[in-house]
A and B are shown apart, each in its own frame.
Chain A
Amino acid sequence: MKFGVVVFPGSNCDTDAYHVLRDVVRRETVYLWHKDHDLQGVDCVLLPGGFSYGDYLRSGAIARFSPLMNEVVEFAGRGGLVIGICNGFQILLELGLLPGAMLRNKNLKFLCRFVHLRLENEATPFTRLGRRGQVLRIPIAHYEGNYYAPPQVLKEVEDGGRVVFRYADAEGNVNDGTNVNGALHAIAGIVNRGGNVLGMMPHPERASEAVFGSEDGRLIFDSLVKSLS
């Protein structure tokens, strides 16, 4: 079992993700340079957070044209597991592997803090160790995480059970007050139709060791390991 963390110019959570996969989850992990054309036989591709290409034009808009993205799209098309975290989620949206787009946070502030997420779908390769309604405490750090999709697309995502996480309170209630960035339906993470591509704004790699205040993020990495076992 091998994980690959894609590195773009401006990625800044690549080392964190690499560390968690290699040292905490203890699985073979490699960096994948965005200009390469080789996924090095990995079983799961992780697009990390950061500011790829300085977020020039739009978040993720330039990174999506990186050479390696051709391989990532093909890999995802074959059912390969792809997870995009924060900027990685934005790149997946720009790539069209996930539907919708990100707008600036409703209060126009960069939000960097712990939030609570309600797990909405435990039947994905990324959440299979969880249970529906479970609350995870994981930090966010973004300016453009206000999820938007046209009404028809949003309906399709909801009807398909493809919302994986919503911004909630510690009890799992979801309302305008818990919806930190104004995302439609308080959406914090979604999967594609096939269920093998996950995009999420919160950072599970920052919440996978007790010393960082939460280990809830491990649910995602441990689920991935289980799925690939």
Chain B
Amino acid sequence: MKVRILVSFKDSVLDPQGQTVMNALHTLGYDSVRDVRQGKVFEVELEGLSREEAERVVPEMADRVLANPIIEKFSWQVVEP
């Protein structure tokens, strides 16, 4: 099973990199851009886990290691069963 985990800053935390990217997009004339948040993507291959077990293990891994819950949030999805 392959899962994709997306980690990004919480809305309450400033993201200067995202702001810089947004400024660059504005410079290029993409005036419709209202906000940019930059994050990290992890693609994780899992072996021997049922879907149910993954539902427990993946958020646990994200919470303990992949994201810092003080400043970051995460979401995840199964990309290959």
Contacts and interface: CB of A to CB of B under 8 A. Distances in A.
Q: Interface size for chain B: under 10, 10 to 19, 20 to 34, or 35 or more residues?
A: 10 to 19
A107 B68 CA distance: 22
Contacts, number: 30
B16 A108 contact: yes
Given A104-B17, A108-B20, A61 B70 contact: no
Interface residues of A, number: 16
A17 to B, nearest CB: 26
Contacts of B17: 104, 108
B44 interface: no
A59 to B, nearest CB: 10
Nearest to A64: B65
B21 to A, nearest CB: 11
Contacts of B65: 57, 61, 65
Interface of A: 57-58, 61, 65, 94, 100-101, 103-108, 148-150
Interface of B: 12-14, 16-17, 20, 65-66, 68, 70-71
